[in-house]
Structure 1
Amino acid sequence: MIVDDKLRTPGAVRDAERWTAHNYHPLPVVISSAEGAWLTDVDGRRYLDCLAGYSALNFGHRHPQLIAAAHAQLDRLTLTSRAFIHDQFADFCRELAELCGKDLVLPMNTGAEAVETGIKVARKWGYQVKGVAAGQANIVVAEGNFHGRTTTIVSFSTDEDARADFGPYTPGFTVVPYGDLDALTAAINENTVAVLLEPIQGEQGVVVPPEGYLPGVRQVCTERNVLFIADEIQSGLGRTGATFACDHEGVVPDMYLLGKALGGGIVPVSAVAANADVLGVLKPGQHGSTFGGNPLACAVAIEVVRLLATGEFQRRSAELGERLRAGLEGLLGKGLVGVRVRGLWAGLDIDPALMSGREACERLAARGVLAKDTHGSTIRLAPPLVITEEEIDLAVAQLTEVLAG
C-alpha cells in the first residue's frame, strides 16, 4: 500500500538518471524489498517478478536457506583471496563438480569472467595439447550471441549496440549462423580450439536451436578434436526444466560456463567446470581473481548446488513451464506472433503493429508485472522457479489485457 501522500518513485528515478552513467534504460520502477517472486517499490506497490535478474534469482528473492547461509558466513569470514585456502572452498568446488559431472571447478565472480576464463583455457589447451601454432588459435561462435560485455567478448558480438565504437577488436573468432550445423562444421579448421555456444540464446529472445543441433555440435567437436564450451550462465541451474539446457538433448560439453543463479541472487558467483585434461593446463599465476571463490560466495553457492541436487527446482521449472507455455500459446494470433518456451523461460514476439517490447513491458509494469524487452517487439519472461500456478496465470492474464489494448 502507499504509505505517504507524496510518491517517492519520480524523485528516485530522477536522481538515478542524474548520477548514473546511462548504460541501462531501466523501467521507472524503484524496488526497495522483495520476497519469493514478489517485489515492493518505494511507494509500497507490489510487482510479480517475471525477469528474476536474468536468471540470477532462480530460487526467488531472499530464499531462506540461502539467506541463512549468507548470514552465518558473514559472522565468520568473507574474504581471504586465493593466497590461502578457506573452509568453504573445497566443498563448493567438489559439490559443483559433481553436479556437473566434471573433475574440476575454477570459481570466478561474474558471467563475463567465466566466459573470459573459458576463452583463455581453450586457447592454452589448443597450444599445449592440440598443438596449434602460437598465436593462431581460433574459436567458433554464433550470430546473435550474448556472452558478456568485455572488450574481447564484444569483439565477436553481432549486436551493434554492444559492439560499436569499442574497437580495436580482439581477433581469433569466427562467427557462424546459430543453429546451422553445416556452417559451423565448415568453419572449423586445424587452428580451431573451441566452439563456444549458448544452448539457448537468451538475450536474442530465448531462441531454441533446431532439434539435433547440439548433438551435432558435440559430434563434430569430438571428431575434429575441438572443445565444446556451453555458456549455461542464463540457461543453466534449473531454468529450462533440467539442470542444464544441454541435458534436454543428452549433450555433455567439455566445459560448462556458469554464473547468475549460482550466487542465489545474493553475491556474484561464476565458475568454469571441466575435466582435468582441460582445466589442468592452467598453472599458478596464469589466471585468477582476488574475489573468485571467496568464502561468502562459496557458502551461498554450496547451498545453491544442494538445492539443485534435490531435483525439486528442475521439476518445478518443467511442470510450471508447461502451464506457462499453454497460456502463452493461447495468445498466438491475439497479439503474439511468436512464442518460444523451455521450462520457465519464454521469448515472446509481439505483433510490431501493436507496440514495441518496451511499451509492452511498461504496460505490464503498470499492471504489476515486471518483464524485460529485447530487440524491438520481443520480450522475455523468466520468473523465479518458486513461482506458483496462480502467479503464472496472473502474469498471462495481465499480458492478455496488455495485448488487448
Structure 2
Amino acid sequence: MNTVSADPQLAEPYLLGWLASLGLDVDYVRAEGNTLYYLGASGEEIPVLDFAGGYGSLILGHNHPRITAYAQQLLASQTPVHAQFSRHPYANDVALALNRILQRELGTEENYSAIFANTGAEAVEAAVKHAELDRGLRLAELRTRLEENLAAARAAVAAGAGVAPEAYRLAGVDARDQAAGFEALAAAVTSRNAEQTARPPVLLTLEGGFHGKLVGSVQLTHNEGYRTPFAALATPARFIPANSPQALKNVLESERATVLDWVVDNGTVSLVEQNSPVFCAFVLEPIQGEGGIRVLSEEFAQEIQRACAEADCPVIVDEVQSGMGRSGDFLASSALGLVGDYYALAKSLGGGIAKTSVMLTRQSRYRSEFELVHSSTFAKDAFSCFISQKVLEILEADDGAAYRTVRERGAKLLGMLEAVRADFPDVVKDVRGRGLMLGLEFHDQSGSGSAAIRDSAPLLGYTVAGHLMREHRIRTFPTASAVNTLRFEPSLYLTDAEIDRLELGLRDTARLLRTHDGAGLTGTATDTGTAADA
C-alpha cells in the first residue's frame, strides 16, 4: 500500500509511525468523487471509498470536473494570486453571493460584511478578534460617557443639586463617609467603574466543541489534550454544557459586569446601574464535528440567542464543518432558528481545491477599523474567490437542488446506519447527525473478551478505521474528541452502491466486536484473550 523511502522521515514522523501501526499510512496518488486511489504492488490503481471527505471539505467530492476545469482555466489565464492591497471585485462578488444565501435562509435583510482568510481556525479567530475590537470600542465609548456624566453631576451639585441617599448605598459608601460629600461618592464610583471596565473579556463556548488549534482558537476547543499545554498563551473560555439553559443563565449572571452611571434629574443627582461590555462572544457549532457529531437542539439554540441578546454577548456561529450545504441547508444553524452575529465558513468553500475561508459580521456590529488592524497574505486572492463563486453557483443551481440531494442522500445513509445499530445494539451505542454529517458511536470495549480489543479500547475508532481500510478499502476516521464515534462526511454524489459497501464493512466490524475477535479486527495473527477470559 506504500512506497517505502530510504530518506529520513522529517515531516511529522511520529504521526506517520502511528498511522503505519494502524494501516492508515496510505500514499494516495489520485482522487475523484468519493474515491481515492493508491498504487498496488504491480503499479495498478486500487480504489478506496472515502467517507472522511476531507473532514467535511468535500461536499462536491474530490476533483469535481467543473471546478477542476475552471481551476485549470484560471491558472492558464495567469489569474493573480499575489495582488494584495488592491481592488478585489471578485471577493465582493463572493460576499454578495453569500449574503443572498444568508438573507434567504435567515429571513433577514441585514447584510454581513466579509473578511477573508485561509482556514477555518483563522476565520474563527478573525471573528473573535473583531468581537473583541468591538467590545473595546464600546468600552471606550462607555468610559467617555461616564466621565461626561460625572462632570455634569459635579456641576449640578456645585449649583445646589442634592444627592439621592440611595446613590451612597449603590456605591458602597457607608453613612460615616457620606459626610465627606459628593467627592467621596465620586471617588468611590470612579474606582468601582474603573475596576469593572478593566475586567478581562469573557469568552463562552460549549463543552465538546472544536474551533481550531491556533493560539486563540484552541482555547475554545474543549479537548483538554489540545488546550491545556497552551492555556497560558490566551484568554481561557468558559465551557457550558450543551442543552443546559440553567448553566448558561448561571454563567451569564456570574460573569456579568456593571457600572454606575450618573443621572441628574429635577435638581437631584442619582446613580443607575447598567451593564458593562465584558462578554466578548459566545462561540458554538450547530453540529459539533470533532466533538462526536452532536446536533445542537433547537430549544437550546434559541435559548442561547435570547440570553446572549439580553447580555449583549455576540454569537459566533462556527459553520466551518457543518456549513456549505452539508447539513441539507446552507447553514446548519438556520434550521435551528439561530441567527448569528458572526459566521465562520471554510472547508467546502474552496471546492476541495482552494484553501480559503471567510468570516461574516452582521452590519449592525461591523467595525470598519478592523480592516486596518487585521490582514492575511493569501486571503481574498482571485483564484480562491473565483473557485468559491463556482462552488456557490453549483450549490445554488436549480433552485438549490444540491441541498435537496444532501437531505435525500443523508436520509438514505442515516437509515442504513440505524439498521446496523438495530441489529447490533450491544455494539453500536448511537447514530446521530444531519444531512451528510453523520456519526456512529460504538459502545466502550474496555470489557471485551479480546485482549487486542481491550488494548485498543482507548482509541477504538482508529482501530476500526484501520480494519475498514485493510479489509474493505473504506476510509473513515473517528472524531478527534470522541474516539468511539466514526464520522461519515461524503460528497452529495454518494451512491446507493457506496452506501451498501459501507454497510458491509460496518456489519463486519460489528460482528468482530460482538464475537470478541481481536485478531480479525486488528489484523494480528493471534489474540491472547477470549470471551471466557473477560
Please report the TM-score for the alignment, with normalisation by the length of structure 1.
0.92
Contact 1:127–1:134 (8 Å) recurs in 2:
no
2:261 maps to 1:260: no
Query: How far did residue 365 of structure 1 move?
Result: 0.8
Identity across matched positions, percent = 28
Equivalent-residue separation in structure 2 for 1:275 and 1:110 (angstroms): 20
2:209 maps to 1:145: yes
- In the TM superposition, 1:5-404 aligns within 5 A as 9=2, 11=4, 17=9, 19-22=11-14, 25-26=18-19, 27-43=24-40, 44-74=45-75, 75-101=77-103, 102-129=111-138, 133=197, 136-171=200-235, 173-188=237-252, 189-190=256-257, 191-310=278-397, 311-332=400-421, 334=424, 335-353=427-445, 355=453, 356-366=460-470, 367-374=472-479, 375-404=482-511
Post-superposition Cα deviations, 1:39-85, rounded to whole Å, max 9, x if no partner, equal: 11132210111011011111001112211221122123231343112
Post-superposition Cα deviations, 1:110-163, rounded to whole Å, max 9, x if no partner, equal: 111101101001111122247673563222111221111011222343313212
Contact 2:2–2:26 (8 Å) recurs in 1:
yes
Equivalent-residue separation in structure 2 for 1:242 and 1:236 (angstroms): 8
Post-superposition Cα deviations, 1:155-192, rounded to whole Å, max 9, x if no partner, equal: 34331321242342312522211232221232222411
Contact 2:51–2:488 (8 Å) recurs in 1:
yes
Equivalent-residue separation in structure 2 for 1:379 and 1:10 (angstroms): 28
Which amino acid in structure 1 is aligned with residue 33 of structure 2? G
Post-superposition Cα deviations, 1:350-401, rounded to whole Å, max 9, x if no partner, equal: 1332651111111111201100123332211111122112212221222112
Which amino acid in structure 1 is aligned with residue 114 of structure 2? V
* Secondary structure in structure 2 of the residue aligned to 1:383: coil
Corresponding position of 1:5: none
Contact 1:97–1:105 (8 Å) recurs in 2:
no
Change (3 A) 1:23 1:362: closer
Structure richer in helix, relative to its length: 2
Change (3 A) 1:251 1:379: same
Change (3 A) 1:97 1:161: same
* Secondary structure in structure 2 of the residue aligned to 1:57: coil
Contact 1:239–1:345 (8 Å) recurs in 2:
yes
Equivalent-residue separation in structure 2 for 1:390 and 1:98 (angstroms): 36
How many residues of Structure 1 are paired with residues of Structure 2 in the alignment?
A: 397
Equivalent-residue separation in structure 2 for 1:283 and 1:150 (angstroms): 20
Equivalent-residue separation in structure 2 for 1:157 and 1:344 (angstroms): 23
Change (3 A) 1:15 1:390: farther
Which 5+ residue runs of structure 2 have no aligned equivalent? Answer: 104-110, 143-196, 258-277, 454-459, 513-534
Which amino acid in structure 2 is aligned with residue 336 of structure 1? V
Post-superposition Cα deviations, 1:294-345, rounded to whole Å, max 9, x if no partner, equal: 1111010011111222312211111111111111111225121111121111
Query: How far did residue 221 of structure 1 move?
Result: 1.8
Please report the TM-score for the alignment, with normalisation by the length of structure 2.
0.70
* Secondary structure in structure 2 of the residue aligned to 1:214: helix
Which 5+ residue runs of structure 1 have no aligned equivalent? Answer: 1-7
Larger deviation, residues 235-244 vs 215-224: 215-224
Contact 2:131–2:314 (8 Å) recurs in 1:
yes
Change (3 A) 1:15 1:31: farther
Change (3 A) 1:290 1:19: closer
Equivalent-residue separation in structure 2 for 1:168 and 1:289 (angstroms): 25
Equivalent-residue separation in structure 2 for 1:36 and 1:285 (angstroms): 41
